[in-house]
Amino acid sequence: MTVQQAKSYGKSNLTLSPTPLLDTEVILQHITGFDKTHLLLNRDTELSEEQEQFFINAIEKRKTGFPVAYITGHKEFFGFDFYVTPDVLIPKPDTELLVELALDALEDKFRANQNAIPTICDMCSGSGCVGLSIAKKLQEAAHSFTLTCADISEKALSVAQKNASRLCASTDSMHFVQSNLFENIPHSFDLIATNPPYVPHEESIELLKDGRSEPLLALDGDVTETGEFSGTNDGLSLIRRLVPQCYEHLNRNGVLIMETGEYNAQETSELFKSAGFRTVRIEYDLNEMMRDVIGIK
């Protein structure tokens, strides 16, 4: 099977995918090591027997709805290549706004004190894409900092640690803590950036029916402290606990930035105010949808 034949095979088999050609090309790039241009210029290249078998198996998986990122084990986020598995959510482009807002907040702190060493927490870190993108940018700018990545899932933390080793020049200032929100985190921070589970329960269940295989734990916002269904369906059960905990774990003038999406950003902003945060505002993504809530202690 040549590259061109593989493209035709993938496109004709992925009839239920909204992006059959793109899916096929990403899988082929992963198999061959070619970028998109090289893939086009080398369309007559024969796949090895091993490559062809991997490709056919990958197409079969994709036909079930299994995400391409889980097939290849990679997903680009904020310009960086993250390792992903079904133990973590696949990083989404909309979440890049959370990183941008965090970097802006940190830049304000560096302008106020160029020798500042901010303490940062990526709560509900999953793959670590938020915290590690922040860390990578700070390292590139030669800024000192400490970063704590926290998640309830041990397997997710393992993925985050692997990404830290792959992406960052040094991990000496980074800590990875398995914790049910702030249960195992006694100290405070200058910045907390978090993308917690915030999808309403019923919609979380519905989303996973397409075979995407992302962890329900990372989507469903309607869970109790013990991880059971809260009985609500607004996606806010976890956030109602998280917001006041964040307030308690922020230093004076510390900043909380939370992705809540269009589901409940307005309600979350009210929770920020009730917890004591000031200058609370909602930020919109490129699609002009409510995406993040920001508050200062």
Q: Is 152's pLDDT higher than 90?
A: yes
**Residue pair 54/31 in contact by the 8 Å Cβ criterion:** yes
Q: pLDDT band for 210, please (50, 70, 90 cuts).
A: confident
Statement: residue 114 has pLDDT above 90: no
DSSP 3-state of 131 = helix
Q: What is the pLDDT of residue 296?
A: 98
Residue 100, pLDDT above cutoff 90: yes
Q: Are 70 and 85 in contact (CB under 8 A)?
A: yes
Average pLDDT over residues 119-134: 98
pLDDT of 271 strictly over 90:
yes
- The stretches of the chain forming alpha helices (DSSP H) are 3-13, 20-32, 36-41, 49-63, 68-72, 96-112, 129-140, 154-167, 201-207, 237-248, 261-275
Model pLDDT for residues 28-75, shown as the tens digit of each residue: 999 999 998 989 898 899 999 999 999 999 999 999 999 999 999 999
The answer, yes or no, to whether residue 262 has pLDDT greater than 90, is no
Chain mean pLDDT for the chain: 95
Quote the pTM value.
Answer: 0.94
Phi-psi bin for 76: left (phi > 0), alpha (psi -120 to 50), beta?
Answer: beta
Q: What is the pLDDT of residues 216-225, one digit of tens each?
A: 989 999 999 9
